Amino acid sequence: LVAPFGKLWKNKLVVVQLNLVVALILAHVSFTALSLLSEVTVNSLAEPLLSLNVGCVAGVVVVQYFYLSVMFWMTCTAWTLFNKIVNAVKQFGKEDEYYVVKCGAVSWGLPALFPTSALLTSWAVNDRVGQYTTPYIG
C-alpha cells in the first residue's frame, strides 16, 4: 500500500502534513467519543452538576493532548515551510536528516506535559475526582 507512495515519504513536508492530519482525526474522534459518552446530571432545581469522574477527566486529558498535538504539528509545518523558503533563497545549508524525527518527538511528546501537569496540579490542590460539584460561574 505504501510502495507506490515511497517517493512522497522522503518529502519532509508531506510527512509532517500526514502527521497533522492523523492528529486532527484523532482529536475529532476523541472529542466526539467524549461528547457521546458523557452524561449530564442535574440536581432537584434542574441545575446541571459537573461530573468529575475518572472517565470524564481521562477523556478531557486525551482531547486536550490531541488538540495540543495538532497545534504543535502546525508549528512544525510552518517551520518546514520557512526553512524551504530560506534554503531556496540562500541556496546552501545542510539538510537535517532527523528533522521529521525531531518534529515527531516534539509534536507527540511535548503536548503530553500540559494536560498531565494540569491534572496533577488539580489533584494536588483539591481532590475532587469522583464527586459532583456545582460549576463555579462568576
Q: What is the pLDDT of residues 34-91, one digit of tens each?
A: 878 777 677 777 666 665 666 777 788 889 999 999 999 999 999 888 888 877 776 5
Identify the DSSP state of 46: S
pLDDT computed for residue 126 by the predictor: 64
What distance in Å separates the CA atoms of residue 115 and residue 120, rounded to the nearest whole number? 9
Residue 22 CB contacts under 8 Å (≥ 6 apart), including other chains: none
Please state the φ and ψ torsions of residue 72, each to the nearest 5 degrees. Answer: -70, -35
Q: Which three cell numbers stand for residue 111?
A: 503536548
Quote the CA–CA distance of 111 and 88 in Å, as a whole number: 31
| Mean local confidence (pLDDT), 102-118 | 89
pTM beyond 0.75: no
- What stretches of the chain adopt beta strand conformation (E)? 41-42, 48-51, 132-133
CA atoms of 50 and 35, how far apart (whole Å):
14
